[in-house]
Amino acid sequence: MLQLYALSLSSRLLLGSARYPSPAILKDAVRAARTEVVTVSLRRESSGERAGQGFWSLIRELGVHVLPNTAGCHSVKEAVNTAHMAREVFGTAWIKLEVIGEDDTLQPDVFGLTEAARILCAEGFEVFPYTTEDLVVAERLLAAGCRVLMPWGSPIGSGRGLNNPFALSALRAHFPQVPLIIDAGLGVPSHAARALELGFDAVLINTAIARARDPVQMAAAFAHAVEAGRAARLAGAIEPRDMAEPSTPVMGTAFRP
Amino acid sequence: MKILVNGDWRETVTAQLGALLEELGYGQSVVTTAVNGEFVAVSARTRTALSDGDRLEVLAPMQGG
Residue A176 has pLDDT above 80, yes or no: yes
pLDDT at A22 over 90: yes
A55–B61 CB contact, under 8 Å: yes
pLDDT band at A51 (very low <50, low <70, confident <90, very high): confident
Q: Chain B partners of A73 at a C-beta cutoff of 8 Å?
A: none
CB contact under 8 A, B65 and A48: no
The Cα-based distances of A39 to A111, B2, B4 in angstroms read 24, 35, 29
A249 versus B12: the higher-pLDDT residue is B12
Q: How big is the A-B interface in CB pairs under 8 Å?
A: 109
Nearest to A164 by CA among A138, A189, A185: A185
Residue A134 has a pLDDT of: 96
Nearest residue in B to A69, CA atom: B64
pLDDT for residue B36: 97
Question: How far apart (Å, rounded) are the C-alpha atoms in residues A234 and A253?
Answer: 35
pLDDT class of A195 with cuts at 50, 70, 90: very high
CB contacts of A207 in chain B (<8 Å) are: 65
Measured between alpha carbons, how far is A128 from A147 in angstroms, rounded to an integer? Answer: 8
Q: What is the mean pLDDT of chain A?
A: 95
A96 as an active site residue: the answer is yes
Gap from B5 CA to chain A (nearest CA, Å): 9
CA distance A62 to A18: 15
Does B26 contact A at CB distance below 8 Å? yes
Residues A171-196, mean pLDDT to the nearest whole number: 97
ipTM: 0.95
Percent of chain A clearing pLDDT 70 (strictly above): 100
**CA of A208: which chain B residue's CA is closest?**
B65
Q: What is the Cβ-side half-sphere exposure of residue A239, based on CA atoms within 13 angstroms?
A: 3
Residues B29-55: tens digit of each pLDDT: 899 999 999 999 999 999 999 999 999
- What per-residue confidence (pLDDT) applies to A250? 83
pLDDT band at A19 (very low <50, low <70, confident <90, very high): very high
Q: Is residue A47 very low, low, confident or very high in pLDDT (cuts 50, 70, 90)?
A: confident
What is the average per-residue pLDDT within A196-223?
Answer: 98
Catalytic pick among A96, A118, A140, A172:
A96
Distance, in angstroms, between A85 CA and closest chain B CA? 6
Segment A115-165, tens digit of pLDDT: 999 999 999 999 999 999 999 999 999 999 999 999 999 999 899 999 999
Q: CB A164: neighbour CB atoms within 10 A? A: 16
B36 CB near a chain A CB, below 8 Å? no
Q: If you average pLDDT over residues B5-34, what whole number do you get?
A: 93
Whether residue A48 has pLDDT greater than 80: no
- Selection from A90, A77, A82, A110 nearest residue A39 by Cα: A90
A105 contact B CB<8A: no
Distance of alpha carbon A55 from alpha carbon A220, whole angstroms: 22
Name which of A208, A173, A168 is nearest A189 in CA terms.
A208
Query: What whole-number distance in Å separates Cα of residue B48 and Cα of residue B18?
Result: 8
Q: What is A89-124 written as a DSSP string?
A: HH--SEEEE--EEETTTTEE-HHHHHHHHHHHHHTT
pLDDT computed for residue A49 by the predictor: 76
Interface residue B1 vs chain A (CB under 8 A): no
Mean pLDDT of A77-91: 97
